[in-house]
Amino acid sequence: MGKVLRDSLTRWLYVLPTIMLIIIVFIVPIFYNVWLSFHEKTVGGEPVFAGLKNYERLVNSPTFYKTIVNTVIYTFFSVFSKALIGLGVALLLNKHFWGRGFLRGFSILPWAFPSFVCAVLFWFNYDYRGTFNQLLKLLGLQPVYWLSYENAMFSVILLNIWHGWPFFFMGYLAGLQAIPVELYEAAEIDGASPSQKFRYVTLPMLKPVILTVMLLSTMWTMGEFTQVYMMTGGGPIDATLTIPIATYRIAFQTEINMPLAAAYSILVLPIYLALIYFTLKMIGE
């Protein structure tokens, strides 16, 4: 009995640092955010209990719903496009041909660049006299105001797609290489066409990988701050005002209101939790 207890304590000692790190970095800030969201507090002042005042203010604010719509649009089109491009490139570079290794390495370059570098590169390309408009002129088309109110959302989505599709490509490629060749050989003996092999062999075997990379990318894209802030700052007006940008503005720019920003983050937390829950449920199935 003493040996069993000692072994159990030894195992707990190994995982204790990780548990403490999770509590300090993740659990404590969440509980502090929840507590702060029920208070009013000025910079340097003492917090005063305010009940649901911060939540009522957000729920009655049209800007709050605008940021949710913007975030959903930004996330959906970015993740969907990255998933399609990544899958197409992974299928292509999973085949055997000369120069495949070079193309695989070259394909991950956009993902290797930090977000702020990508934002600066695209900022120059989006300039009225930038690369994109020069290409349009060569094609006989009119220049575009890429960061205008009408085009700003499309422009930041395009930047996110360019930066993020290699992540999908790497995940899909690893998943494709883990599929046993015998499954394709058996399908070919049964007379399966390439489209049938893709539908009945590749996709089912890739399902856990697809769901995992889409979950991670969705959470990262919903929380993307650097690219949107450096490109548009959430503007023009509220054209690209997403949840992270709105929270930052409330906390550090327009109002300097930490409790209201905390309430903002708590209100949108169920969206992230729902995504995680349904994705894990589908992986389990």
SS3 content of the chain, % helix, strand, coil (to 5): 75, 0, 25
Asked if residues 107 and 166 have their Cβ atoms less than 8 Å apart, the reply is: yes
Q: What is the mean pLDDT of residues 117-141?
A: 90
The overall longest dimension of the chain from CA atoms, in Å, is: 83
- For residue 49, the 8-state DSSP code is E
Reported as a pLDDT band with limits 50, 70 and 90, residue 283 is low
Report the amino acid identity of residue 272: Y
> How long a stretch of residues is the chain?
285
Whether 8 is in a domain gets the answer no
User: Structural domain of residue 266, as residue ranges?
Assistant: 62-284
Q: What's the total number of domains in the chain?
A: 1
Residue at 57 is within a domain:
no
| CATH assignment of the domain containing 191 | 1.10.3720.10
Distance of alpha carbon 134 from alpha carbon 129, whole angstroms: 7
* Residue 54 within a domain: no
The token pair that represents 214 in the structure block: 């889409």
Alpha-carbon distance of 209 to 228, in angstroms, equals 28
Structure tokens belonging to residue 268: 């949108």
β-bridge partners, 49:
39
Over residues 34-90, the pLDDT tens digits come to 999 998 887 777 888 888 899 999 989 899 999 999 999 999 999 999 999 999 999
1: confidence class by pLDDT, cuts 50, 70, 90: low
Other beta carbons within 10 angstroms of residue 185's beta carbon come to: 10
- Report the predicted TM-score, pTM, of the whole model to 2 decimal places: 0.89
pLDDT, averaged across the chain: 89
> DSSP labels for 190-223?
TT--HHHHIIIIIHHHHHHHHHHHHHHHHHHHHT
The 10s digit of each residue's pLDDT in 6-26 is: 777 778 888 888 889 989 988
Quote the DSSP letter at residue 81: H
- Here the contacts of 35-42 (C-beta below 8 Å, separation 24 or greater) are 36/258, 36/259, 36/262, 37/259, 37/262, 37/263, 37/266, 38/259, 39/259, 40/259, 41/258, 41/259
- Phi first, then psi, for residue 180 (nearest 5°) are -60, 135
The number of beta carbons lying within 10 Å of the beta carbon of residue 217 is: 22
Q: Does residue 113 form part of some domain?
A: yes
Residue 27 included in any domain:
no
Q: Does 235 map to a domain?
A: yes
In a domain, 13, yes or no: no
Evaluate whether residue 39 is within a structural domain.
no
Which is nearest to 200 in space by CA: 211, 212, 213, 190?
190
